[in-house]
Chains A and B, each alone.
Chain A
């Protein structure tokens, strides 16, 4: 659950993105992992608070949707913030093997599913 309701937000969400709604940024999948780079950590104070928090929460890899929940802004906003940070080299976007799992070749995809299956069995 979000830690506070929308009433507690002091800025309208799209003010954070300069009014951009993400039409001009590549769509980052909800489950894509966002990882902070060393450069990003070094320069995080130069960014606005929401970008700074993204870098803090991202760590070694946190899904886009998780960042939206943690920073407590809508997914569309977090997409714009993350895309900007990625462009500046402050974060790295980790998709599964360079794309969504279903972009993989048949054999590669089957191997991924086998690993997932083993992983679930070992839980």
Chain B
């Protein structure tokens, strides 16, 4: 057996998923609080899983890569929080299962000018019963829509927390992360099975 001295300090990784349509500010959101520059990792899609072939039916490509942005935040108590931005393009939705597995919860970033871009993410987390919250990115300073209007337009349950956030501002992002984990904790305490 290894001696105690050779053991690295025991850290515990946890993760939160940041979803939303292409260009909604996911990377900005992650970058605002990450202690590292958001990194991009690629997954090479070579497995001929069901349904993939038709994605490349244009005949131009048989393999492709999908990029995932992520950031890291070291917390006290040897916790390391990873933030994962979901790949934006629709054809990479199958990657979401892996990202959502074991996640504390998810943030669905919304641009009120392109509400439909977040429908897929909301459907996914609702079906999976992953704790999620809806966050309206106000990066352009526009507050044209009340959160109630957005909730109604998205038709999400009244329990789902909603908030505004400027994805460029660290304290905004910190508050959002806090609200999401608080919501996940509430659900855990209520005994709602976690995904």
Contacts and interface: CB of A to CB of B under 8 A. Distances in A.
Interface string A99-114: 0111100100110111
Interface stretch (B41-49, B115-123, B138-146, B147-155): B41-49
Main secondary structure of the interface of A (DSSP, over half): helix
Interface in A36-76: 37-38, 60-61, 63, 65-66, 68-70, 74-76
A122 B81 CA distance: 13
B32 to A, nearest CB: 12
Interface of A: 1-2, 6, 13-14, 21, 29-33, 35, 37-38, 60-61, 63, 65-66, 68-70, 74-77, 92, 94-97, 100-103, 106, 109-110, 112-123
A5 B99 CA distance: 24
Main secondary structure of the interface of B (DSSP, over half): mixed
Contacts of B14: 31, 96, 101, 112, 116
A119 B75 contact: yes
Interface string B165-186: 0000000001001100110110
A63 B82 contact: yes
B181 A120 contact: yes
Interface in B76-117: 76-77, 79-82, 84, 98-99, 101-102, 104
Contacts of A2: 40-42
Nearest to A27: B98
A1 B8 contact: no
B185 A92 contact: no
A110 B185 contact: yes
B23 interface: no
Nearest to B16: A116
A64 to B, nearest CB: 9
With a 10 A CB-CB cut-off, give which of A37, A101, A123 has the most chain B CB atoms.
Answer: A123
